[in-house]
Chain A
Amino acid sequence: MTKKIYEELQENCECARICGDYAEIVPDSLPDCALFLKDNGYDYLDMITASDHIDEFILTYTFKNLKDKDDVMLRASVSRENPEIPSLSNIWIGADFQERELYDLMGIIFTGHNNLKRIVLWDGFEGHPQRKDYKNVA
């Protein structure tokens, strides 16, 4: 049973497909989808996370509707050679730290973020540890 919001999302934005619990989107259409969701009541950005699938990174965004107690999950896939995706930190300030953490640990670059630095690890650290091909130097 697909939710109604996913169908509305597919009509209004460039959505690749709906797969049950989540909707896959093209990375460049992320701000439009996010703004659409925000206008329709899903205005709480809960989580931004990513996982490494060898040739691509898959980012997952979770939005929550606090009034109706409902949530929506979006997935975007970025390639390993060019891991760039537009940033949501202009729309939600809470996305600031989460995107910095993803840059720090996975090396995904969020375009439009005004302070993309390491946040969990220290400034001179080399490498992105949560990638599958990271080797521990020490």
Chain B
Amino acid sequence: MDDAVLVTTIGATPWYENFWVHLAIGAVVAIAFFFFFIVMYIWTERRVIGLFQGRLGPNRVGPLGLIQSVADVIKVMFKEDIVPDKSDKLLFWLAPFMAFVPVMMILAVVPFSENFQIVNLNVGILYVLAVSAISSIGVFMSGYAGNNKYGLIGGMRGLAQFISYEIPLILSLASLVLISNTFSVNGLVQAQTLPNILMMPLAFVVYFVASLAEISRTPFDIVECDSEIVAGFNIEYSSMKFAMLYLVEYGEAVVTSVLVATLFLGGWHGFFIDGPIPLIIKMVLVFLFILWIRATLPRLRVDQSMGFCWKFLLPVALVNLLFTAARMTFFPDLSNWIVIPASFVFTAIVIYLFAGLFKPGRKVAEND
């Protein structure tokens, strides 16, 4: 008997549970996923925005213009690399990496299917928030290191916007954690028998708008739009370092759409099959929604966007957290049929109240 037990415990773990194999496969999957979707997103953006504006996007370069991003990257690689004479050399070289790498690191905790994520952290949400903050330092560093006043202004605006919008983001995620009772991302997905967007629409609204501002997309793209700040923080970069900064915007869009799909739309849950395919479909739908917003809305001024964050999103997120905490304390077992309509009504009331009472940037009307 003891011999039998001894023999079975000496046996090796199966090859797919070996730590190094899992790490290698996970790294390859994450990097391939990331770069493939960045390239696809660039193509999607240019074609879909063209569709919104009634024109074709790139359609000459490959079949349907699919190879356009590849041509862009090859061209940028072969350009001359300019380092300004009076720039801070160490920061100048370091900044694109610091902006680009943390964005990829977020994919380490995203569950691609029920059993597969690269790292099963039990504090996955905290990891995501912490890591995504590093890339803003990279953006500001690149604006500062170029020794250019427009880069500095662009970098400072980006940093101000980023750190302001982190707070509603974190508060909306806190209310999600309250109803799911877990910090790990896979746990959050498994707890979604119904997608969280139905259970907490207000948290979805706050999280979505705050992430749009985090990734500096229209209407919050004061950081690097032409008419405002002459290319902003990436003004002194050319060649490969510029390619990294250019891909940061799309990489953050990829990661944001993955996170929204995971946390609010149900992740790898699907209608008939679970797995990565529903996740990818949801991700692309979220990105199309982001593009729709980009094609429609004009840009906010920097004081309008700051006012919007501190005077509207932050109180709304706090109210949401308060009511969620109250509900979980006093009525932890309400049935979904009551919770969902009540949440939507609550969302409508809160947004209407706050939008009516606190208009961002409004001055007291003077008597004419």
Q: Does a CB–CB distance below 8 Å link A and B in the complex?
A: no
